[in-house]
Amino acid sequence: MITQIDHIGIAVRDIEASMQMYSKIFGVESFHREQVPTQGVDVASFELNGVRIELTAALSETSPIATFIAKRGEGIHHVAFRTDAIQSDLDRLGADGVRLVHTEPQVGAHEMLIAFMHPSSTGGVLMELCSPKH
């Protein structure tokens, strides 16, 4: 079951410059950093009042983030929702006609299992389901 907003993903060209900007705006003193080669991303994240903000940069020109930035520029890339039953939610959504980018969870940042719903089925918003790996 989907239980809460987990994070907001923001596509950025230059992760270091973006970290400096967000640090100035929100007073961020430290970021969690990691690369997720299977997703083609470099992630710097911080928490703001219980919601994680993920700054996400492409690791290569073929990364989905690079494609997104080329088409739309920097900005909000996705909204992620926490679930305690990711595969059940994917099965339910697929059966209800929601177009899924992933029908099975993938490994993402923060030791999470993730799966995306296609924005054509979600009012133009790329939505992600995420669940801690057990």
pLDDT tens by residue, the chain, 134 residues = 999 999 999 999 999 999 999 999 999 999 999 999 999 999 999 999 889 999 999 999 999 999 999 999 999 999 999 999 999 999 999 999 999 999 999 999 999 999 999 999 999 999 999 999 87
Fold of domain 2-132: 2,3-Dihydroxybiphenyl 1,2-Dioxygenase; domain 1 (3.10.180)
Domain range list for the chain: 2-132
Residue appearing with tokens 């029908």: 103
User: Which pLDDT score, from 0 to 100, does residue 133 have?
Assistant: 87
User: Which pLDDT score, from 0 to 100, does residue 134 have?
Assistant: 73
SS3 assignment, position 81: strand
